């Protein structure tokens, strides 16, 4: 039930109940009052009839003593008044219990009126008139007697009922007080209930909002959230509000996670750039020197040396590229070849470097210096200790929408722990660099940025966790498998690019 | 959640309490309304049921109360309004006054006791002249314009009493008689009684006195009679309370051999019969008298002319009949 509906039901119901009670009280008091009024009116009417009969009889007597038009008019007036009093009695009506007696009374009045008229008609003969007057007088006596009796009967009939009504009224008043008391209590409870249904969820929302804005501990936040979630299940306005609020928090959290990831990537790229900058001067100097050396070697007729120096210089040039800009697989593979040429010059026939390239996959884009470090790793760690028969294989194939690059050697291989460590996803720059230092000490050779770096970059680049696969066992050689999508989705990177020209 | 339950429960409880109180309140209001409807006058329209007045000889008399009961039950059956009136003590003048008043009140029919009085007969004629049918009960008013008489054949009852006395007393002896009043019914009973006694030369009626249908006066008169005529074999009472009064007097004067004969069945008559203080009582069917009188009124108002005389008969109540009747509350039970 919505809060609005609750209010719309509760308030009119309470008002209705109160009004109904007032109406009932008013109505019953009106009824009782009406009963009293009618009874009083009836009693007055009985008495009035008695009075009218006496007066009409008196005026008849006066007329009979002195028959004249004036007194006759007076007598007629009185007689009419008597008939009217009977008529008014008839109109008032009586309670069922006294209808027979009242009917008799009305008949008495009629009889008297008739007798009076009869007597008046005989006014010419006084003796006859007096006789008739006497019978009218008798009837008037009856009227007096019956009038009193009717009053007594009416009171006798009505009194017990009125007393009972009074008692009922008293009971009703007591009940009314109880009803008002209970109704007030109910009203207060309902008011509290409705207001609680507003203030409680609002309070909870406020707490939750405070937690969110102050960045409270996750535990607190979780508690408040759980309460709010329970609240959200209520189907009122505040439930809906809470639900919306919770959704907002959820999307806020999501956005925060995305933000954190992006920040990490940016920081990572920055770090790489910093490293690159550190090594900037040296490569430039080296690059220039190498050009001079290659020319000199050519002049001195050492063509092979010159070629190697050229390869060397290309290698360096490639490495001076912007690291966050993806390159085509073709460029990366060219670079690998230059590197392999130099390495082969070193190892000679000790190492066999084989490539098997699927041209269709060469357009795929990937971060620069991702395949070369793997090949370098194979040269430096994989087969370094082998006396003969070392083999390094580079294979590129297209698998559906992916390009798959495999770098394998048949060298020392690695144990499971090392393999796991390499694949560890979370990146700790400080630790990584320390490891790198250690490794560079132990391996004596520059291992570039390290394979782990490569993996991390590939994962960030492709956004998938299956980008890198390592198959290896001690003494069984190592195979790195990289999987990159053929189509590269450019993601905006708002890191200011540093020109390292 | 728990809080919620307490709240909901509390509100529900209060609501129920409120509803219950309100229901009681409404019921009370309804009751008041019903009560006031009792006070509301009937609409003064439509056909009024016929009004019948029963003017009894005296109020608070078992015989007349029984007549009234019969009349009331019959008038209820026929949908008529019966109004009973009567003097509080025996008072023929008051009876006449009540009759006059009833005529002035224009009743639709009157049930009166005849008084064997020309003035009273004139009043009955007056009523008949103004279109009010009069039926005499208990005692007739011969020679008046009454439509019918309903009651005991008083002469026959007197004869029956005579036969009853002869059977118990034998064919010789002196007998005292108490009559209730000078009303025609009493006179007729006495007449009937005399007619039987005459047949037996040995039997004489020593004294006749009036008890005024009062137990105390009956006792007084009987005592008086016994003092004056201690040889009396039996005293016969012809009005309702005479038997009891005579029995009391006999007990007082230790006249154990006196045979007491009563009329009707008031108060402890049965008990007295059972104890042998009253030899026998001749009981009129008072309830049936009232009932039949009202039935006649109904017939008359329906346009059927009633026969003039309706005798309701008597029952002899003595030890033997008491045994067969059992100790029922009343011998005369209207069917």
Q: Are residues B245 and B202 in the same domain?
A: yes
Position A112 pLDDT exceeds 50: yes
Contact A113, B66 (CB under 8 A): no
Which residue among A103, A146, A168 sits closest to B28, beta carbon to beta carbon?
A168
Residue-wise pLDDT for A117-137, tens only, equals 888 888 888 888 888 999 899
Q: Does the residue B84 lie in any domain? A: yes
Q: Are residues B77 and B168 in the same domain?
A: no
Whether B131 contacts chain A with CB within 8 A: no
Cβ-based neighbours of B257, under 8 Å, separated by 6 or more = B233
Q: Are residues B146 and B166 in the same domain?
A: no
Q: Which chain B residues have a beta carbon less than 8 Å from that of A139? A: 104
Contact at CB, B43 and A93, closer than 8 angstroms: yes
Whether A112 contacts chain B with CB within 8 A: yes
Q: Which chain B residues have a beta carbon less than 8 Å from that of A178? A: 21
Which residue among B7, B32, B105 sits closest to A107, beta carbon to beta carbon?
B105
Quote the minimal CA–CA distance from B114 to chain A in Å. Answer: 22
Quote the minimal CA–CA distance from B63 to chain A in Å. Answer: 25
Percent of chain A with pLDDT over 70: 85
Q: Are residues B234 and B301 in the same domain?
A: no
Query: CA separation (Å) from A453 to A467, A499, B45?
Result: 13, 22, 116
Residue-wise pLDDT for A191-236, tens only, equals 888 888 788 878 878 887 887 777 656 666 666 667 767 666 667 7
Quote the minimal CA–CA distance from A21 to chain B in Å. Answer: 8
Q: Are residues B294 and B280 in the same domain?
A: no
Query: What is the structure's pLDDT at A307?
Result: 87
Complex ipTM more than 0.90, yes or no: no
Q: Does the residue B290 lie in any domain? A: yes
Whether B307 contacts chain A with CB within 8 A: no
Whether A436 contacts chain B with CB within 8 A: no
Contact at CB, A165 and B48, closer than 8 angstroms: no
Contact at CB, B101 and A142, closer than 8 angstroms: yes
Whether A113 contacts chain B with CB within 8 A: no
Residue of chain B whose alpha carbon sits nearest to that of A171 = B28
Q: Are residues B181 and B247 in the same domain?
A: yes
Burial class (CB within 10 angstroms; exposed 0-12, middle 13-18, buried 19+) of B334: middle
Query: What is the structure's pLDDT at A442?
Result: 41
Contact at CB, A27 and B81, closer than 8 angstroms: no
Q: Does the residue B22 lie in any domain? A: no
Q: Which chain A residues have a beta carbon less than 8 Å from that of B39? A: 35, 38-39, 95, 158, 161-162
Quote the minimal CA–CA distance from A2 to chain B in Å. Answer: 16
Query: What is the structure's pLDDT at A443?
Result: 39
DSSP A393: E
Whether A272 contacts chain B with CB within 8 A: no
CATH number (domain holding residue B161) = 3.40.50.2300
Cα–Cα distance measured from residue B163 to residue A369, given in angstroms and rounded to the nearest whole number: 159
Q: Are residues B94 and B200 in the same domain?
A: no
Residue-wise pLDDT for B200-234, tens only, equals 998 899 889 998 888 899 999 999 999 999 888 99
Q: Are residues B160 and B279 in the same domain?
A: yes
Query: What is the structure's pLDDT at A497?
Result: 41
When divided into structural domains, chain B yields a total of: 2
Residue-wise pLDDT for A351-387, tens only, equals 888 899 988 888 888 888 888 888 888 888 778 777 7
Q: Which chain A residues have a beta carbon less than 8 Å from that of B4? A: none
Q: Does the residue B39 lie in any domain? A: no
Query: What is the structure's pLDDT at A342?
Result: 85
Query: What is the structure's pLDDT at B73?
Result: 92
Domain that holds residue B265: 154-284
Residue A240 CA, distance from chain mean position:
2
In chain B, residues 65-84 whose CB comes closer than 8 Å to chain A:
81, 83
* pTM beyond cutoff 0.90: no
Widest CA span of chain A, in angstroms? 191
Contact at CB, A175 and B28, closer than 8 angstroms: yes
Contact at CB, A179 and B22, closer than 8 angstroms: yes
Q: Does the residue B79 lie in any domain? A: yes
Q: Are residues B55 and B118 in the same domain?
A: yes
Query: What is the set of domains in chain A, with CATH numbers?
Result: 3-190 (1.20.120.1730), 212-256 (no CATH), 326-485 (3.30.565.10)
Whether B46 contacts chain A with CB within 8 A: no
Q: Average pLDDT, whole number, for chain A?
A: 81
Query: What is the structure's pLDDT at A474?
Result: 83
User: Model confidence at A440, in pLDDT bands (50, 70, 90)?
Assistant: very low
Quote the minimal CA–CA distance from B330 to chain A in Å. Answer: 30
Position A500 pLDDT exceeds 60: no
Q: Does the residue B80 lie in any domain? A: yes
**Which region among A217-226, A267-276, A294-303, A392-401 has the lowest average model confidence (pLDDT)?**
A217-226
Q: Does the residue B267 lie in any domain? A: yes
Q: Which chain A residues have a beta carbon less than 8 Å from that of B108? A: none
Mean pLDDT of A228-247: 75
Query: What is the structure's pLDDT at A447?
Result: 37
Quote the minimal CA–CA distance from B68 to chain A in Å. Answer: 17
Residue-wise pLDDT for A59-105, tens only, equals 999 998 888 888 889 989 999 999 999 899 888 888 877 888 888 89
Contact A135, B101 (CB under 8 A): no
**Which region among A245-249, A426-430, B154-158, B284-288 has the lowest average model confidence (pLDDT)?**
A426-430
Q: Which residue has the higher pLDDT, A34 or B156?
A: B156
Query: CA separation (Å) from B145 to B131, B291, B294, B308?
Result: 11, 21, 18, 11
Q: How many contacts, defined by CB atoms under 8 Å, are there between A and B? A: 129
Position A428 pLDDT exceeds 60: no
User: Model confidence at A498, in pLDDT bands (50, 70, 90)?
Assistant: very low
Position A439 pLDDT exceeds 50: no
Residues in chain A: 501
Q: Are residues B187 and B290 in the same domain?
A: no
Contact at CB, B39 and A161, closer than 8 angstroms: yes
Q: Which chain B residues have a beta carbon less than 8 Å from that of A161? A: 35, 38-39
Q: Are residues B123 and B179 in the same domain?
A: no
Q: Does the residue B69 lie in any domain? A: yes
Which residue among B35, B43, B104 sits closest to A142, beta carbon to beta carbon?
B104
Contact A79, A113 (CB under 8 A): yes
Cα–Cα distance measured from residue A381 to residue A377, given in angstroms and rounded to the nearest whole number: 5
Q: Are residues B179 and B269 in the same domain?
A: yes
Mutation target to probe the A interface, by most A beta carbons within 10 A, among B17, B27, B29 is: B29
Below-50 pLDDT ranges, chain B: 327-333, 335
Query: CA separation (Å) from B203 to A121, B167, B190, B207, B239?
Result: 63, 12, 15, 12, 22
Mean pLDDT of A234-262: 83
Query: What is the structure's pLDDT at A290?
Result: 83
């Amino acid at each position: 039930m919505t809060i609005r509906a609750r209010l719309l039901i509760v308030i009119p119901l309470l008002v209705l109940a109160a009004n109904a009670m007032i109406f009932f009280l008013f109505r019953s008091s009106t009824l009782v009052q009406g009963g009293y009024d009618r009874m009083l009116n009836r009693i007055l009417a009985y008495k009035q009839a008695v009075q009218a009969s006496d007066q009409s009889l008196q005026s008849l007597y006066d007329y009979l003593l002195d028959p004249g038009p004036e007194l006759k008019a007076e007598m007629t007036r009185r007689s009419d008044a008597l008939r009217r009093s009977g008529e008014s009695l008839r109109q008032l009506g009586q309670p069922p219990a006294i209808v027979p007696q009242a009917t008799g009374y009305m008949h008495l009045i009629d009889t008297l009126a008739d007798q009076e008229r009869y007597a008046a008609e005989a006014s010419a003969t006084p003796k006859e008139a007096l006789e008739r007057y006497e019978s009218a007088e008798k009837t008037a006596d009856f009227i007096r007697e019956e009038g009193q009796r009717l009053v007594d009967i009416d009171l006798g009939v009505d009194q017990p009922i009125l007393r009972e009504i009074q008692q009922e009224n008293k009971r009703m008043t007591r009940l009314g007080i109880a009803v008002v008391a209970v109704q007030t209590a109910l009203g207060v409870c309902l008011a509290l209930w409705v207001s609680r249904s507003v203030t409680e969820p609002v309070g909870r929302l406020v707490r939750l909002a405070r937690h969110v804005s102050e960045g409270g501990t996750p535990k607190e936040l979780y508690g408040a959230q759980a309460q709010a979630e329970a609240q959200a299940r209520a189907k009122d306005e505040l439930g809906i509000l809470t639900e919306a609020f919770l959704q907002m928090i959820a999307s806020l959290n999501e956005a925060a996670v995305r933000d954190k990831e992006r920040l990490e990537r940016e920081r990572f790229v920055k770090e790489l750039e910093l490293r690159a900058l550190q090594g900037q001067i040296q490569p430039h100097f080296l690059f220039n020197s190498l050009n001079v050396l290659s020319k000199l070697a050519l002049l001195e007729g050492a063509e092979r040396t010159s070629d190697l120096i050229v390869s060397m210089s290309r290698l360096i040039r490639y490495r001076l590229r912007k690291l966050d800009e993806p390159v085509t697989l073709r460029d990366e593979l060219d670079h690998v070849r230059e590197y392999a040429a130099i390495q082969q010059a070193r190892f000679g026939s000790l190492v066999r470097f084989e490539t098997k390239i699927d041209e269709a996959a060469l357009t795929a884009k990937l971060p620069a210096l991702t395949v070369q470090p793997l090949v370098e790793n194979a040269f430096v760690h994989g087969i370094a200790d082998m006396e003969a028969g070392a083999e390094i294989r580079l294979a590129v194939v297209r698998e559906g929408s992916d390009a798959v690059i495999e770098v394998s050697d048949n060298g020392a291989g690695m144990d499971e722990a090392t393999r796991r460590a390499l694949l560890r996803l979370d990146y700790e720059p400080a630790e990584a660099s320390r490891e790198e230092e250690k490794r560079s000490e132990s391996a004596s050779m520059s291992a570039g940025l390290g394979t782990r770096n490569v993996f991390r970059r590939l994962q960030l680049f492709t956004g998938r966790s299956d980008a890198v696969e390592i198959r290896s066992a001690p003494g069984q050689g190592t195979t790195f498998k990289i999987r990159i999508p053929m189509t590269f989705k450019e993601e905006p990177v708002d890191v200011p690019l540093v020109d390292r020209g | 959640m728990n809080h919620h339950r307490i709240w909901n429960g509390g509100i529900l409880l209060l609501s129920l309490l409120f509803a219950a109180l309100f229901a009681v309140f409404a019921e009370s209001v309804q009751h008041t309304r019903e009560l006031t409807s009792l006070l509301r006058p009937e609409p003064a329209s439509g056909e009024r049921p016929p009004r019948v007045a029963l003017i009894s000889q005296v109020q608070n008399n078992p015989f007349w109360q029984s007549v009234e009961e019969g009349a009331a039950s019959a008038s209820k059956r026929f949908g008529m309004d019966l109004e009973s009136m009567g003097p509080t003590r025996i008072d023929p003048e008051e009876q006449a006054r009540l009759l006059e008043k009833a005529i002035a009140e224009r009743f639709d029919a009157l049930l009166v006791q005849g008084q064997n009085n020309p003035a009273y007969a004139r009043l009955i004629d007056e009523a008949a002249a103004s279109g009010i049918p009069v039926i005499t009960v208990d005692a007739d008013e011969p020679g008046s314009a009454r439509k019918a008489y309903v009651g005991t054949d008083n002469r026959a009852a007197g004869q029956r009493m005579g036969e009853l006395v002869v059977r118990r007393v034998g064919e010789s002896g002196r007998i005292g008689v108490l009559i209730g009043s000078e009303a025609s019914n009493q006179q007729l009973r006495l007449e009937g009684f005399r007619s039987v006694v005459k047949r037996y030369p040995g039997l004489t009626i020593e004294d006749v006195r009036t008890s005024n249908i009062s137990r105390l006066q009956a006792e007084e008169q009987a005592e008086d009679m016994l003092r004056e005529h201690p040889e009396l074999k039996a005293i016969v009472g012809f009005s309702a309370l005479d038997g009891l009064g005579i029995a009391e007097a006999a007990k007082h004067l230790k006249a154990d051999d006196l045979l007491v004969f009563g009329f009707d069945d008031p108060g402890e008559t049965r008990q007295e019969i059972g104890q042998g203080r009253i030899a026998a009582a001749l009981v009129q069917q008072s309830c049936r008298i009232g009932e039949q009188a009202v039935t006649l009124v109904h017939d008359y108002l329906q346009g059927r002319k009633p026969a003039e005389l309706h005798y309701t008969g008597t029952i002899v109540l003595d030890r033997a009949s008491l045994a067969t009747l059992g100790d029922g509350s009343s011998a005369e039970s209207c069917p």
